[in-house]
Amino acid sequence: MAEKFMEWDDRLSMGIPLIDKQHQRLIEITNNLYEACRQGGSLYTSFVTALRETVDYVGFHFGTEEKIMRRINYPDYALHKREHEAFVKEVLKQKLAYENDKAYAPHAMVRYLRDWTLSHIALTDLKLGAYLLNMKKTGALENVLEKFIDDKSQTL
């Protein structure tokens, strides 16, 4: 890949290795989607493949975050989940628009994905991260969850 559309920045780190790894993977997938947009002739196949990977991985990642939030009874769970749901709805809407109209501009989708991901991580996810780290610091996390969020070796 010649040019990166998005770069990981340590300021986006939640301090939760599992979630940080997933966020880094989302950035990588967004870069793949961007690269598919740049490919020209094979755009449709490349873009649809990259978009499918994006949808699948986002579902996996959101599931991880939501599982953690439910396990700790996170007070902003409902709001956080609504943000996830709105994002998925928009991505699926744009995917359908692309599949139904080959003149659709996939670059708009990639920009939306980048902008939403960065703002969601920087605002909503970092708030969750601070909450989790505070729970960990005060000993309020149960052992199983603490191991789950500290595990740097989990494969994605």
Residue 92, in any domain of the structure: yes
Angle value at C-alpha 75, between 70 and 81, nearest 5 degrees: 60
Residue 154, in any domain of the structure: no
Q: Which of 51, 52, 77 is nearest to 66 (CA)?
A: 77
Residue 21, in any domain of the structure: yes
- Look at residue 86 and give its three-state secondary structure: helix
Q: In the predicted model, is pLDDT for residue 145 greater than 70?
A: no
Q: In the predicted model, is pLDDT for residue 7 greater than 80?
A: yes
Q: Which residues contact 40 (CB under 8 A, 6 or more apart)?
A: none
User: CA-to-CA distance for 30 and 36, rounded, in angstroms?
Assistant: 10
Domain count along the chain: 1
Write out pLDDT tens, residues 10-62: 999 988 888 999 999 999 988 888 887 777 655 667 777 777 888 888 899 99
Angle value at C-alpha 61, between 130 and 53, nearest 5 degrees: 145
Tell me which residue range forms the domain holding 86.
15-149
Please, where are the H alpha helices in 5-142? 17-38, 43-71, 77-100, 106-119, 126-137
Q: pLDDT band at residue 92, thresholds of 50, 70 and 90?
A: confident
User: CA-to-CA distance for 149 and 82, rounded, in angstroms?
Assistant: 22
The DSSP call for residue 72 is T
Write out pLDDT tens, residues 94-113: 778 777 775 566 778 888 88
Residue 8, in any domain of the structure: no
| Residue type for position 15 | G
User: CA-to-CA distance for 74 and 131, rounded, in angstroms?
Assistant: 8
Residue 156, in any domain of the structure: no
Q: In the predicted model, is pLDDT for residue 136 greater than 90?
A: no
Residue 1, in any domain of the structure: no
Query: What is the CATH classification number for the domain harbouring 144?
Result: 1.20.120.50
Residue 10, in any domain of the structure: no
Q: What's residue 103's pLDDT?
A: 59
Q: In the predicted model, is pLDDT for residue 66 greater than 90?
A: yes
Residue 29, in any domain of the structure: yes
Check residues 123 and 39 and name the one with the higher pLDDT.
123
Q: What's residue 155's pLDDT?
A: 38
